[in-house]
Amino acid sequence: MSGDSSPSAKLLLECVEHVSTPVYVYQADVIEQQLQRLKDAFAGADLRVMYACKALSTGAILRLMNELGTGLDTVSIQEVELGLRAGFDPSRILYTPSMVSFDELSAVAKIGAQINIDTISVLEQFGSVFGGTIPVCIRINPHIMAGGNERISTGHIDSKFGISIHQMRHVERIVTSHGMLINGLHMHTGSDILDADVFLQGAELLFDVAESFPDLTFVDFGSGFKVPYKPDDISTDIEELGAKLCQRLKLFNEKRASPVALWIEPGKFLVSQAGTFLTRVNVVKQTTSTVFAGVDSGFNHLIRPMLYNSYHHITNISNPTGTPRVYSVVGYICETDTFAWDRKIAEIHQGDVLAFSNAGAYGFTMASNYNGRLRPAEVLIRHGRIVPIRRRETIDDLVRTELDGE
Ligand code: LLP
């Protein structure tokens, strides 16, 4: 799928008519197509797609995923709860937390979600409390540097995630002493990984470790599949990766008494290109050095450009055939919040609607109320219908949790 899979300007403007701006618009058919691509690419394995709901966890999206038959990858008990509310059976929920309290871990274990442990001391504690009664997956840190930048790279030696691949003997001792049941091995090395070989390199290490765990029913290779953010961007060749990984898994399974399933945890791959963020231009400001287009949003709604220097393609859907001019697109936050420098965009006038492509993943879920601003509305387009799935916040939502303090 190319970088720009945005719906037509007409449909997007209809969404704006319905719910105004700022608004996130998601296309169900793009999510379905991406899921199908994964299923086709990994057809050679017993595949389970665990949607990483940190990318986008709005109820309607989770219900759609449940309907499409995915599982859910979660990181907090709250995400587990969101999954349950959306109708997911606990057995289809994977819980991969980082640095959570043992109370939270135990509560999720009792709910019946698949537990994934990434710390030796926690594994030991879990073993002494639950023994072999609750199966556990182990998250391994393979010490591979991967991912778009250091903030989203998780498998390297300085990362807080996972149990070092060099500590497997210790893991085995704990598992044996407590009679634990290890049913899965997991690794996730980062986000925006371009090189299929990184996954294959990780896979080799994981298969190696797997020899010591006879009760495995699955291996989980996490995610990090890169999607094309720029119009001519390259992305992970999912078809090539799928074919190679399935082939390797087949060889591995031939040597085992019972074959293991292949789990993956895509977030971005499923929802990024399905999402478009729509904002309205409040002000066009010519300064001595640039022309700023200031929109009714900021890093309170879409923080990726400021946090990771991420590129989101921007189009002026109110004037798509206008002469392209060079703009810097900024937000209304009282700090520097530049979405894009020196971008060629069809001539912009006050009131025009700008569409940010590829905004489905880590857009709304990373939004905040900074500057007292309200979080945007969300809309799902399904079977050609525009369905509002979240109303815009109000000032009452902003103060809902406050107490008088008297
Ligand atoms: N599994 C685990 C254990 C993860 O930590 C993540 C993402 C995923 C799966 C999903 O990865 P994805 O398919 O979305 O690349 N906020 C950043 C990305 C941070 C990803 C955190 N973990 C961004 O906007 O690029």
Mean of pLDDT values over 242-255:
94
Least confident range of 157-161, 260-264, 339-343, 377-381: 157-161
Residue from 236, 265, 303, 310 whose mutation best tests the ligand 1 pocket (most atoms within 8 A of CB)? 265
- When pLDDT is averaged across residues 269-297 and rounded to a whole number, the result is 97
Write out residues with Cβ below 6 Å of ligand 1. Answer: 52, 54-55, 73, 96, 152, 188, 191, 222-225, 265-269, 304, 308, 361-362
Among residues 38, 9, 27, the alpha carbon closest in space to that of 227 is found at 38
Residue 365, pLDDT score:
98
Per residue in 41-59, pLDDT (tens digit) is: 999 999 999 999 999 999 9
Question: Binning pLDDT at 50, 70 and 90, where does residue 34 land?
Answer: very high
Is a pLDDT exceeding 90 seen at residue 294? Answer: yes
Give residue limits of the domains in the chain: 42-268, 275-399
Question: Helix (H, G, I), strand (E, B), or coil: what is residue 192?
Answer: coil
Task: Of 140-154, 201-215, 266-280, give the range with the top mean pLDDT.
Answer: 266-280
Measured distance CA(121)–CA(130) in Å, rounded: 14
Mutate to test the pocket of ligand 1, among 49, 160, 223, 366 (most ligand atoms within 8 A of CB): 223
**Average pLDDT of the segment spanning 231-236:** 84
Q: Residue 379 — very low, low, confident or very high, per pLDDT cuts 50/70/90?
A: very high
CA 224 / ligand 1 centre spacing (Å) = 6
Angle, nearest 10°, between helix axes 102-111 and 120-130? 50
Tell me: pLDDT of 274 over 90: yes
**pLDDT score, position 235:** 85
Q: Three-class SS of residue 282?
A: strand
CA distances (Å), origin 146, targets 200, 224, 238, 384: 12, 9, 16, 38
Measured between its terminal Cα atoms, the distance across the chain in Å is 57
Amino acid 150: pLDDT: 59
Q: Do domains 42-268 and 275-399 have the same CATH topology?
A: no
Q: How far is the CA of 397 from the centre of ligand 1 (A)?
A: 28
What is the C-alpha to C-alpha distance for residues 128 and 180, in angstroms, rounded to an integer? 9
Least confident of 241-250, 296-305, 365-374: 241-250
CA dihedral 38, 229, 274, 235 (to 10 degrees): -10
Residue 148's pLDDT is 56
Q: What is the pLDDT of residues 340-373, one digit of tens each?
A: 999 999 999 999 999 999 999 999 999 999 999 9
The whole-angstrom distance between residue 16's C-alpha and the CA centroid of its chain comes to 25
Distance, CA of 358 to CA of 302 (rounded, Å): 11
Between CA 404 and CA 392 the distance in angstroms is 25
Which atom of ligand 1 approaches the CA of 222 most closely? Answer: 1
Fold that domain 42-268 belongs to in CATH: TIM Barrel (3.20.20)
DSSP string, 342-376: EEEEE---TTPEEEESS-SSSSGGG---GGGPPPP
Nearest CA to ligand 1 atom 19: 152
- Asked if the model's pLDDT at residue 177 lies above 80, the reply is yes
pLDDT band (50, 70, 90) for residue 236: confident
Check pLDDT > 70 for residue 152: no
For ligand 1, the distance from its centroid to the CA atom of residue 125, given in whole angstroms, is: 27
CA dihedral 43, 46, 49, 50 (to 10 degrees): -170
pLDDT band at 142 (very low <50, low <70, confident <90, very high): confident
Taking residues 263-291, report their average pLDDT: 97
Question: How does residue 81 score in pLDDT terms, banded at 50, 70 and 90?
Answer: very high
User: Which of 54, 74, 138 gets mutated to test ligand 1 (max ligand atoms within 8 A of its CB)?
Assistant: 54
Give dist(CA 64, CA 35) in Å, integer. Answer: 12
pLDDT computed for residue 147 by the predictor: 56
Tell me the mean pLDDT in the region 374-392. 97
Query: Do residues 378 and 401 touch, judged by C-beta distance below 8 A?
Result: no
Which residue, judged by its Cα, is nearest atom 7 of ligand 1? Answer: 191
Closest CA to 286 of 278, 297, 276, 294: 294
CA 80 to centroid of ligand 1, rounded, Å: 16
What does pTM read for this prediction? 0.96
The CA radius of gyration of the chain, in Å to the nearest whole number, is 23
Q: Kindly give the pairing relationship between strand 314-316 and strand 353-356.
A: antiparallel
Contact in structure between 320 and 345 (CB atoms under 8 Å): no
- Reply yes or no on whether the pLDDT at 145 is more than 70: no
- Gap from CA of 152 to ligand 1 centroid (Å): 7
CA of 152, closest atom in ligand 1: 19
5 has pLDDT over 70:
no
Q: Where does 275-399 sit in CATH, by number?
A: 2.40.37.10
Coil, strand or helix: which one is 319? Answer: coil
- What are the backbone dihedrals phi and psi of residue 201, each rounded to the nearest 5 degrees, phi first? -60, -45
> What tokens does 8 get?
């037509």
Q: Answer yes or no: is pLDDT of 232 > 90.
A: no
The secondary structure element, H or E, covering residue 25 is strand 23-27
**Minimum-distance ligand 1 atom for the alpha carbon of 269:** 13
Write the pLDDT tens digit of every residue in 95-139.
999 999 999 999 999 999 999 999 999 999 999 999 999 999 999
User: Residue 2 pLDDT > 50, yes or no?
Assistant: no
CA of 266, closest atom in ligand 1: 13
| DSSP string for 114-149 | EEEE--HHHHHHHHHHHTTSS-EEEEEE-----SSS
245 Cα to the center of ligand 1, angstroms: 20
Give percent above pLDDT 90 in the chain. 85
Kindly report the average pLDDT of the chain as a whole number. Answer: 94
CA separation for the pair 5, 27 (Å, rounded)? 9
The pLDDT of residue 154: 65
What is the C-alpha to C-alpha distance for residues 23 and 392, in angstroms, rounded to an integer? 8
Residues taking part in catalysis:
334
pLDDT higher than 70, residue 258: yes
pLDDT given at position 4: 54
Residue 149 has pLDDT above 80, yes or no: no
Helix H or strand E segment including 220: strand 218-220
Residue 179 to residue 150: CA distance in whole angstroms: 37
Residue with tokens 């504690």: 125
In ligand 1, the atom with minimum distance to the C-alpha of 361 is 24
Which of 31, 108, 70, 67 lies closest to 273 in space, CA to CA? 31
